[in-house]
Amino acid sequence: RPAEHQHVRYNPLRDDWVLVSAHRVKRPWQGQLEKPPPEDVPRWDPKNPLCPGATRANGEVNPNYEGTFVFPNDFPALQPDAPEPDDSDHPLFRAAPARGVCKVMCFHPWSDLTLPLMSLPEIRAVIDAWAELAAELGASYPWVQIFENKGAMMGCSNPHPHCQVWASSFLPNEACLEDRTQRQHLSQHGVPMLLEYAKQEAARKERLVVENADWLVVVPYWATWPYQTLLLPRRHVCRLQDLSDSEKDSLASIMQRLLIKYDNLFEVSFPYSMGWHGAPTGPYLQEDCRHWQLHAHYYPPLLRSATVRKFMVGYEMLAQAQRDLTPEQAAERLRSLPEVHYKKRAE
């Protein structure tokens, strides 16, 4: 019985395994307790560098934006004009060029508004901005990584709703790995891996969290984090910028539903790291990328409550990933949660 007996599950997207030990969640917890996120975030703060009209670290003043706002990261990890490293004198000491651009995108002018509390038109505006950035930066860069770190627990230093977009001159490790596994699957089975996987999960339903006509969200069979989810389109689509208007509308809806459930799980602004993966761009736009299927990963750290998180240490760092409840248990719990945000139930 998966919920009582440990076993390992294969992740075909990463070509690795995860140890499922669901009985461990019953053990008493005497470890670190996290502080819940503050509930009193001011809507506008002139000292917050992401707010409209505020001054950023480089001295630039933000416009009084009323929707999404994109600007160059003031402390970029990638720069377009970085010099090439010196040649290596030994195969164990290799370096390669790394160039790119980093941007920050604010979702909304209000600091106290997160995605699940935004309206569907406001979320759709975020999706449109994502697609525009993916197309703009992808015209020249091989990889455009859109990602959001939400909450201090996930390293976010500013509560204002925002994400980052890094475009790089190289394919990062995760992109290379997913490119290889998806290419192999198409070659061996004749169908894109995640397109087939979405159809299987839609039929089985045991790991399904939410779905609509164009999208579904599942706790993947091979999930590592306790309430990890995978957001998948139902049709074959390679890149975010390839979505139709109706698919963008239904994406806004399913994102809102998922994120409301996340917040309702422990009645807290749910922390996570999320990001979009799609077919590489730049020079790859001219290549056959049919093996790719667009998808988004959500990696939340909370395990038992708003204050108890899952730590990836010890065995996870030195051996392989391990989880403390089955994906089916996690999906059932998320699926059963209401889709009205806990902050709005009394309204």
CA torsion through residues 163, 167, 172, 176, sign: positive
User: Domains, the chain, ranges and CATH?
Assistant: 42-80+96-338 (3.30.428.10)
State the pairing for strand pair 16-20/321-323: parallel
Q: Which residues are annotated as a binding site for Fe cation?
A: 178, 277, 295, 297
Three-state SS for 254?
Answer: helix
3-class SS letters over 271-294: CEEEEEECCCCHHHHHCCCCCCCC
Distance between CA atoms of 298 and 318, rounded to whole angstroms?
A: 23
Per-position pLDDT tens, the chain of length 347 = 777 779 999 999 999 999 999 866 555 555 666 777 777 899 999 999 999 999 999 999 999 999 999 999 999 999 999 999 999 999 999 999 999 999 999 999 999 999 999 999 999 999 999 999 999 999 999 999 999 999 988 888 899 999 999 999 999 999 999 999 999 999 999 999 999 999 999 999 999 999 999 999 999 999 999 999 999 999 999 999 999 999 999 999 999 999 999 999 999 999 999 999 999 999 999 999 999 999 999 999 999 888 888 889 999 999 999 999 999 999 999 999 999 999 998 66
Annotated binding site for UDP-alpha-D-glucose: 24-27, 57, 73-74, 149, 155-157, 164, 310-311, 315-316, 322
Annotated binding site: 24-27, 57, 73-74, 149, 155-157, 164, 178, 277, 295, 297, 310-311, 315-316, 322
HSE-up (13 A, CA, CB side) for residue 87: 1
CA distance 96 to 87: 9
Instruction: Determine the Cα–Cα distance for residues 194 and 292; give it in Å rounded to an integer.
Output: 8
Per-residue confidence (pLDDT) for residue 53, from 0 to 100: 97
In sequence order, the β-bridge partners of residue 8 are 19
**Structure tokens that stand for 200 in this block:** 């299987």
Q: Is the pTM here over 0.85, yes or no?
A: yes
| pLDDT of res. 336 | 97
What would the 3-class secondary structure string for 83-143 be? CCCCCCCCCCCCCCCCCEEEEEEECCCCCCCCHHHCCHHHHHHHHHHHHHHHHHHHCCCCE
Instruction: Kindly name the residue from 108, 160, 162, 291 that is annotated as catalytic.
Output: 162
Report how far residue 208's alpha carbon sits from residue 204's, in angstroms, rounded to the nearest whole number: 8
Question: Active-site residue 185, yes or no?
Answer: no
- Output the pLDDT for position 27: 57
